[in-house]
Structure 1
């Protein structure tokens, strides 16, 4: 259904060519007195006769009686007319009055609707906008009864927007703004705005204390009358050029506060949602599970925004996003054990960033379906257990960083070369890995970066590393390695080769011989100082 047709059917504004009956208010809460002003009630038919007869009361007695009854009849008629006029005026005043929408770059203006009373006891029908949105209201429309809610404010905006732009000169392009799907889309966007624009929460109270909340860093076009089409000029929005459905919301580092509303899931065509580095405070199932309804999402970035769980870890609702390719949930305050079901439905996932949270569990990859995963970042996550299934269940891995997980134990998988032949960068620092460095790691032809410092690895450095012509970094200090650095590996050190950083426990301390013999012409750094001087920080 086209909303413009519904609007004109309602007989509102310039589209209505004849004055409607004053016995019914219009469907948008605008009184008939606004559309068609009531005539001056100061004069009525018969007033001149009344005046004339009143001033000729000294005429003949035979006419006086007739005039008396005539005057009495006129007074009755006038009284009835006055009573009707007063009643009509009172009804018009009670049926609502228009208010204009103020707009600025932030778009904080809204226009009230007179028909959104709590119980609708008057029997007055809701507006066409309400009738379109009610089936999509997450609480069945009850949210519109609270006039302080962001949903009510969003409804007001959409109604006012419809009133402002529906005219007899509406073009085809303008009519397209008022299809049912566009009304729902605009409502969802207005909900996002009112729920996240300078809205205080427990989180903002903690982060900003008594400081005033800042507005969005960029709100260009949002709810601004100069930009009636959300697909043209609204910051952070990209729409499909054919369907005009929103396919991308990019709010990265845009100072969103409040709570990201579940009405966001009404944007069914959304493919990219970027909320990286904001202050929206979404807690528990209510704050997170709606994300699973965005089933067309291909990219979801929540990193450094407080999407909080207490005992679920990464919400299993995200497993419904079967089209996901990129997922960043790092440093979101997700807490709790990772569930095996989470990883079963991501066949297209390429990028997974999940570090900086507290999972306090193993990485449940035994039943995972991650054939396309190339980039995995799970540092500082309280993971424990072994890496036994890591590369078997993700054979396409190119880069794996799982640093600062001291409860990760066991050895590096011995069949890494066969299970992950495309590896280019691995990092398992500050863990508790034991065993030897498997030669299969050193036999991966495209390997470029290896960080293994601060573990409990033993044995010698595999000679196979000397065949890695593309190796740029190999850091192995603070382990229990012994022996001599292979001469073939030293030959790859720059400027002869591409190896820029080669570090190991090669210093003599208090007369005690180095654990690994490696002179300064080969090793770029020796011992714990290689970690503390930030030698690896620039590359990461």
Structure 2
């Protein structure tokens, strides 16, 4: 081919690409169609004004495409601007790995069942919204989930025991809802990863399942519920648990008999019915935070470790606890 003709063809192709962006668009047309349907379902909000059918959807606000396949793999919609229910079309983005609706106070209705179709999903975050209804059982079908956050919503009902069937889960956030019933016994039977459990600020009741003794949780927050009875199964010398918050429940067990791992850095047991004394073993733990106030503890606070580095508010309002930093024992 003549060199001039070849150059002319190249320039023609270049200018046509510039003039017609569709020729250079990376976004998969099926994904683009679905995203435009989602925008329409939300009544074309201003926050999605960049979702222009004439531009590449891989460049749209809150949308990310895979660098190899160019399929939409992330949809993260933060901070207001959306109203109504989660559109059913979110389930029609088959390559989605991250789906987040966060700080969307006008987002209402139940968790969309079509989300169950997103088999590649690794992170699901629906938080700080006004979605309601139950925590759906179908979430257990998303076997690739590593992070599930449904906190700061209006979810009601019980926690589905099937969530323990998620083999790759690293963190489960169900805190700050209106959940009732018991913590599922199956939460002592997570296979594969042992997730951080955040169940605080709900209306959960009953005993903490003894099955939790079998697992080595890194972080547990069951605070501000109506949990009763023993919680000692959470602890153990050979565990690697770092943070435990069981405050503001109705727990009642003998703290003297509990053995704590040296990995523990934060322990909050305030506002319960815990009896016994502060175990000497806690002097061997490098605690950064401790609160055992408003319980029924008695005896002298052991000397050593970090126990005297906390002020009196850590220990006050117990039956007969004494010794530094509280008044000396008589």
Instruction: Give the TM-score range, shorter chain.
Output: 0.7 to 0.9
Query: Once the 2 structures are TM-superposed, how far is the Cα of residue 190 of structure 1 from its aligned partner?
Result: 8.8
Is residue 487 of structure 1 aligned with residue 280 of structure 2? yes
Q: Is the 8 A contact 1:360 1:384 kept in 2?
A: yes
Partners of 2:232 and 2:244 in 1: how far apart?
13
Is residue 451 of structure 1 aligned with residue 245 of structure 2? yes
Partner residue, 1:291: 90
Query: Once the 2 structures are TM-superposed, how far is the Cα of residue 333 of structure 1 from its aligned partner?
Result: 1.3
Partners of 1:365 and 1:435 in 2: how far apart?
21
Is residue 409 of structure 1 aligned with residue 190 of structure 2? no
Which structure would you say has the larger Rg? 1
Partner residue, 1:384: 180
Distance 1:375 1:431, change over 3 A: same
Is residue 519 of structure 1 aligned with residue 301 of structure 2? yes
Match of 1:358 among 154, 162, 172: 154
Q: Is the 8 A contact 1:458 1:481 kept in 2?
A: yes
Q: Is the 8 A contact 1:309 1:315 kept in 2?
A: no
Distance 1:444 1:366, change over 3 A: farther
Is residue 373 of structure 1 aligned with residue 169 of structure 2? yes
Q: Is the 8 A contact 1:399 1:424 kept in 2?
A: yes
Query: Once the 2 structures are TM-superposed, how far is the Cα of residue 376 of structure 1 from its aligned partner?
Result: 0.8
Partner residue, 1:39: none
Distance 1:238 1:436, change over 3 A: closer
Structure with higher strand content = 2
Distance 1:338 1:486, change over 3 A: same
Partner residue, 2:12: 169
Q: TM-score, normalised by structure 2?
A: 0.75
Q: Deviations over 1:515-537 (max 9, x none)?
A: 344539626312479xxxxxxxx
Unaligned runs of 5+ in 1: 1-166, 201-214, 246-268, 508-513, 530-540
Q: Is the 8 A contact 1:343 1:365 kept in 2?
A: no
Partners of 2:35 and 2:206 in 1: how far apart?
52
Q: Deviations over 1:469-526 (max 9, x none)?
A: 111011111111111110111x13xxxx42122221378xxxxxx6344539626312
Q: Is the 8 A contact 2:243 2:266 kept in 1?
A: yes
Match of 2:293 among 496, 502, 505: 505
Partner residue, 1:400: 197
Q: Secondary structure at the match of 2:78?
A: coil
Q: TM-score, normalised by structure 1?
A: 0.48
Query: Once the 2 structures are TM-superposed, how far is the Cα of residue 460 of structure 1 from its aligned partner?
Result: 1.2
CA RMSD of aligned residues (A): 3.8
Pairs within 5 Å for 1:182-193: 184=29, 188=33, 191=36
Higher relative contact order, structure no. (Cα contacts within 8 Å, ≥ 6 residues apart)? 2
Is residue 281 of structure 1 aligned with residue 83 of structure 2? yes
Q: Secondary structure at the match of 2:99?
A: strand
Pairs within 5 Å for 1:101-112: none
Distance 1:330 1:394, change over 3 A: farther
Partner residue, 1:431: 225
Distance 1:242 1:399, change over 3 A: closer
Q: Is the 8 A contact 1:400 1:425 kept in 2?
A: yes
Q: Is the 8 A contact 1:476 1:505 kept in 2?
A: yes
Partners of 1:186 and 1:371 in 2: how far apart?
28
Partner residue, 2:4: none
Structure with higher helix content = 1
Unaligned runs of 5+ in 2: 1-9, 319-330
Q: Secondary structure at the match of 1:171?
A: helix
